[in-house]
Structure 1
Amino acid sequence: MTGRDAPYHVHEVSEFTFECGQTLRPAKIAYQTYGELNADKSNAILYPTWYSGRHWDNEWLIGSDKALDPGRWFIIVPNMFGNGLSSSPSNTPPPYNGPRFPRVNVRDNVESQYRLVTEVFGISTLKLVLGWSMGAGQTYQWAVSHPEMVERILPFCGSPRTAPHNQVFLDSLRAALTASVGFDGGWYPPDQWPVGGLRAFGRIYAGWGFSQAFYWDEVWRELGYTSLEDFAVGFWEGFFLDGRDPNNLLTMLDTWWAGDVGATPGQKSTEGALGSIRARAICMPAEKDLYFPPEDEEWAVSHMPNAELRVIPGVWGHFAGGGPNPVDTAFIDAAVAELLAGPSGI
């Protein structure tokens, strides 16, 4: 069984100390698996979630007709801290509930996933780590934090370091949500979310998630919407009103804002961290992504020893990596198949 209603697993770490110095007792890592781990534990793939995404939101790239075939691979999809399934402001008891939830960085997520992969499954090598958007950021971080373990990476529509322009966008989201009537410093009642702020959050996202050309050509009609306003309300406002708690969104937003593999302990710069990656890599920005433009990832690839830049063509912008467009899905799937069929980097 797959999808939103399928049972999933939770790994509890009795004490998990975040880099900010705060400790959850316990921390919970929710995850889903697809396929079976083979006897020598050599067929494992890790596919982290993205900003506000849950494990079922990654299933569009998994299937018997895809390179991520559960009949061959054991695919683990861990949920990020703050997404409402793993430990989050919305599901953590006092005193670390709501706005008191620890500040989370990308390395905290990767460390929790490392604990999951090694403690629960006894896996020592990952054939592939891949992910979209913030999942791509975690992918880069995995290759820097555990170079001896990661054979291949395929980050798509994401980056190893959050760019200043991207941070400006994130700051606008934070401002819209925290200024909302009813936000109350994050201490709103669980059943009384600041809906106005969530709708404004969606409206800001609407100008970034898809490209200018996507709107010019009215490609939103391919998703079944009848007008621009129908798309803005039905897709974007609806997206953030669908079980996405505001404090959870702010926790993940802070994680995104501070993303930088160069801040990894032992590393002195982003360039140096990228140069330490041993995994074979195909890095896949989207042609018209406003968050993670191809030139940013061209810079990243120039500092990696075993990496290729492969741009996803088309007008879908950031959501070229989100699964709604079968053409882009096929393009990404082909790269996954190629990477898995080729040599590893370790």
Structure 2
Amino acid sequence: MTSDYETFEMGDVALQSGATLHNARLTYKTYGDRANATRGTILLPTFYTGTHNRNEGFFGPGRAIDPARHYVISVNLIGNGLSSSPSNSAPPCDGPRFPAVSFYDNVACQHRLLTEVLGIERIALVMGWSMAGCQAYHWGAQYPDMVDAILPCCASARTSPHNFVFLEGVKAALCADQDWKDGDYDSPPVRGLRAFGRVYAGWAFSQTFYREGLYRQLGYKTIEDLLTDWGTDHARNWDANDLLAKLSTWQGGDISANPAYGGNLAAALGAIRARAILMPCTQDLYFPPEDNAAEAALMPNAEFRPYTSPWGHCAANPGNDTGFTAALEDNIRSLLA
């Protein structure tokens, strides 16, 4: 079957942890004609359970990001099953032996893709939801001279302690399956994957979403229907080791955790010269707006523009909340003006 993406073969990549990711590869897809991209290059990393295909919901003809005017690059996160991942790597990086990969590592690899393969010297905007937004912060701090603007929505520059604890919960649900076998499973730990999806669903939306029955707008008649579907989706479509590899990246998120900033978050935020709009959802249970408000105060060119939505973290998922989408479009246009 022909793939709809391209692959950058990077060879052996030295990681922040000191480990090596052997025969590393980064998969990506581009949209638009770079030569005719009058409004510049847009970089869209992917989010936790996203691929480049899911990112297509953030742009299109006549929209704020339009391949007729922009050169759009959608890059798959390491661990998502398309770029190097536990499920597609050969020994010694297969399965549970896949090394820990940080956001810093991901962005460094993306920088190689843009500069060495695509010949990109400047980026007009790095935009993304959730883990993709976390990568936008990293781009601003790691390559401040290359990025004109960033727009993280429902994301943060450093994963909060509470966010870390939530992720420990979904991880524990998956690993409690006796078929997990510390990641060396003979067949997928289906019960653990279903439990992972059910727990995740409780945090992806707000209390208001469930109280007001907004799940019906997604085609579910009952809450149980939603929970069953989320569990089934994770069991059918995701490899357990891939999910945990990305979860590790998320838990370790911190734009200052590198030699340039030595753990000084204020210094890392202060080094982001890009114009920035931080767009949290006020009812997001993962990335609360208070975190973004504190970040914006330390960034020289940042605006804090929260959006209130009962869809919680999933307000940013394309198609869920038309009001959030409209506000996001306005914010993108503002940064690209």
The answer to whether TM tops 0.5 is yes
CA-CA distance at 1:16 after TM superposition: 1.1
Q: Please give the residue correspondences for 1:83-162 in structure 2 after superposition, counting only pairs within 5 Å.
A: 83-162=80-159
Aligned partner of 2:32 in structure 1 is: 35
CA-CA distance at 1:37 after TM superposition: 0.8
Q: Which residue identity is paired with 2:259?
A: P
2:27 is paired with a residue whose SS is: strand
Q: Distance in 1 between matches of 2:83 and 2:284?
A: 28
Deviations 1:27-48 (A, max 9, x none): 1100111111127997111010
Indicate how the Cα distance of structure 1 residues 146 and 73 shifts in structure 2: closer, same or farther if over 3 A, else same: same
When the two structures are aligned, how many residues end up with a matched partner? 335
Aligned partner of 2:201 in structure 1 is: 206
Q: Contact 1:42/1:125 (CA < 8 Å) preserved in 2?
A: no
Q: Which residue identity is paired with 1:309?
A: F
The alignment's C-alpha RMSD in Å is 1.6
1:32 is paired with a residue whose SS is: strand
Q: Which residue identity is paired with 2:76?
A: N
Q: Distance in 2 between matches of 1:168 and 1:72?
A: 42
Q: Which runs of 4+ in 1 moved over 3 A?
A: 39-42
Aligned partner of 1:272 in structure 2 is: 267
Give the counterpart of 2:276 among 264, 281, 290: 281
Q: Contact 1:129/1:154 (CA < 8 Å) preserved in 2?
A: yes
Give the counterpart of 2:228 among 215, 229, 233: 233
CA-CA distance at 1:266 after TM superposition: 1.6
Indicate how the Cα distance of structure 1 residues 242 and 322 shifts in structure 2: closer, same or farther if over 3 A, else same: farther
User: For structure 2, which runs of at least 5 residues remain unmatched after alignment?
Assistant: none
Q: Distance in 1 between matches of 2:258 and 2:178?
A: 38
Q: Contact 2:38/2:69 (CA < 8 Å) preserved in 1?
A: no
Q: Please give the residue correspondences for 1:1-346 in structure 2 after superposition, counting only pairs within 5 Å.
A: 7-38=4-35, 43-189=40-186, 192-234=187-229, 236-268=230-262, 269-323=264-318, 324-341=320-337
Q: Which residue identity is paired with 1:287?
A: T
If the length of structure 2 is used for normalisation, what is the TM-score?
0.96
Deviations 1:181-233 (A, max 9, x none): 200010013xx210110111011111110000011110010111111111111
Q: Contact 1:43/1:126 (CA < 8 Å) preserved in 2?
A: yes
Q: Distance in 2 between matches of 1:296 and 1:32?
A: 32
Q: Which residue identity is paired with 1:251?
A: A
User: For structure 1, which runs of at least 5 residues remain unmatched after alignment?
Assistant: 342-346
1:170 is paired with a residue whose SS is: helix
Q: Contact 2:281/2:288 (CA < 8 Å) preserved in 1?
A: yes
Q: Distance in 1 between matches of 2:303 and 2:290?
A: 13
Q: Contact 2:37/2:69 (CA < 8 Å) preserved in 1?
A: no
Q: Give the stretch that moved more between structures: 18-27 or 274-283.
A: 18-27
Q: Distance in 2 between matches of 1:237 and 1:166?
A: 21
Q: Contact 2:36/2:69 (CA < 8 Å) preserved in 1?
A: no
Identity of aligned residues (%): 47
Q: Distance in 1 between matches of 2:232 and 2:288?
A: 26
Q: Distance in 1 between matches of 2:34 and 2:110?
A: 17
Q: Which residue identity is paired with 1:277?
A: I
Q: Which residue identity is paired with 1:188?
A: Y
Q: Distance in 1 between matches of 2:306 and 2:11?
A: 42
CA-CA distance at 1:18 after TM superposition: 1.1
Q: Distance in 2 between matches of 1:169 and 1:285?
A: 18
